[in-house]
Amino acid sequence: MASRLNKSKSKVFFRMKTSQVDSNSKLQLNICHLYPDLMDTYGDRGNIIAVVKRCQWRGIDVTVSNISVGDSLSTSHFDFDFFFFGGGQDIQQEIVGKDLQKKAKDLKRAVEQESVILSICGGYQLLQNYFKTLDGKMIKGIGIFDAHTIGSTTRMIQNLLIKINPTIQSEISEAYTSLRGAEQRSNLKTEIKDSFASLRMTGEETILIGFENHSGKTFLGSNLKPLGKVIKGSGNNGEDGTEGAVYKNAFGCYLHGSLLPKNPHFADYLISKALERRYGEIKLEPLDDSIEWQAHKQAINRPQSQ
């Protein structure tokens, strides 16, 4: 397929804020996959694959390091731009939660130095203040997000559709462009706007679609902003209409499925954020995301029939 072959030949366009580099210089993205052997439910590993491929199609070099129980983040040669932390069951969270305390200082420092973290479900919960299980066990988090989770008897399992927080929408629009034909792009925007007209959406870039499966109810601190507002599904707790959390470049959510392959706008936003900490302002070359947006469209149609 020609459009896919063209991805591997793409050049990267970027400009530096703080220094000058040769226009032919290669960009490098260093990814840390946290606890992939213990926290990898519902296709979460697909997020790593999506980031790697979207970088490779643009000629960006990528390294992925798997960091698990007993591994240190303090070694001087680790300088990660992007951390991914997937979901797991309560028993895995207990194991990981204890080890994570040893990595807390390094992860907090990484966030303050503008590294990107994408955490999903169990990983999201462990970056909060604490998770109290249904049987009363307290799993201490590391407090990157001022939030906590309480186990419940309610199983929140369904496709989850959210409208992205307006403060992030404009940044995503700047970071993401697609090579899809103008007519196809216009048709998709019209279909989405017609389906959810009451939400005053401007197009597909304003929403995220994923799959949630959790019984923990997450409650955000008063100064912590959510990733978005629930359109269909439960989100953080099924009560206040919020989903996920954002602190600096750290993002937490319940969007399994995998999230990034069928939300290419959010994937490119995170990639841009991660590269900017090392290189300054980045403008990624657009890719042909026709297949990705077809998957996105199919997924958003499912919640409407539930």
CA quadruple 32, 36, 40, 45: dihedral positive or negative?
A: positive
Angstrom distances, CA of residue 153 to CA of 130, 134, 204, 279: 18, 7, 34, 47
Instruction: Tell me how far apart the alpha carbons of residues 194 and 201 are, in angstroms, rounded to a whole number.
Output: 9
Q: Which two tokens stand for residue 227?
A: 């990733």
Instruction: Tell me how far apart the alpha carbons of residues 161 and 88 are, in angstroms, rounded to a whole number.
Output: 21
Are 210 and 256 a contacting pair, CB within 8 Å? yes
For 201, the 3-state DSSP assignment is: coil
Ramachandran region, residue 280 (left: φ > 0; alpha: ψ -120 to 50; beta: rest)? left
Ramachandran region, residue 273 (left: φ > 0; alpha: ψ -120 to 50; beta: rest)? alpha
Instruction: Tell me how far apart the alpha carbons of residues 204 and 212 are, in angstroms, rounded to a whole number.
Output: 20
Instruction: Tell me how far apart the alpha carbons of residues 71 and 69 are, in angstroms, rounded to a whole number.
Output: 6
Q: Catalytic residues, which ones?
A: 121, 256
Residue 239 identity (one-letter amino acid): E
